[in-house]
């Protein structure tokens, strides 16, 4: 079990934030439809699951903006992996 933060930033040809966020929302839908646990944050979305499945979803979310007409995409990913696994709830237990 791993936790991954993903932030997809679609660039060009979007003229403004409204158009860009429509693409970001579609990327979030990919995560929501994955069946994995996730939490949407202000700057990224955290995904929890088995390593291969998480990376499959990261790839889909990164590639989707190109399918929607975007010319360039910057995706930032941060992975937290622990022997025996880690969960979002475990990591945040002292803050909830």
Angle between helices 17-32 and 51-67 (to 10 degrees): 150
Structure confidence at residue 18 (pLDDT): 85
Average pLDDT over the chain, rounded to an integer: 93
Decide the pairing of beta strands 72-81 and 45-49: unpaired
Query: Model-level pTM greater than 0.85?
Result: yes
Q: How far, in Å, CA of 21 to CA of 31, rounded?
A: 15
Structure confidence at residue 63 (pLDDT): 98
Mean pLDDT of 10-25: 84
Mean pLDDT of 52-59: 98
Cα distances (angstroms) measured from residue 83 to each of 1, 24, 45, 80 = 9, 32, 23, 10
Residue 77 has pLDDT above 90, yes or no: yes
- List of residues 6+ apart from 96 with CB closer than 8 A: 89
Residue 30 has pLDDT above 80, yes or no: yes
């Amino acid at each position: 079990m791993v936790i991954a933060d993903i932030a997809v930033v679609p660039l060009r040809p979007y003229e403004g934030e409204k158009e860009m966020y429509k693409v970001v929302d579609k990327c979030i839908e990919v995560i929501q439809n994955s069946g994995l646990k996730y939490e949407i944050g202000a700057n990224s979305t955290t995904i929890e699951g088995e390593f291969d499945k998480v990376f499959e979803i990261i790839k889909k979310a990164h590639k989707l903006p190109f399918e929607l007409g975007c010319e360039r995409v910057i995706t930032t990913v941060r992975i937290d992996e622990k022997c025996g696994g880690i969960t979002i709830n475990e990591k945040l237990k002292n803050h909830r």
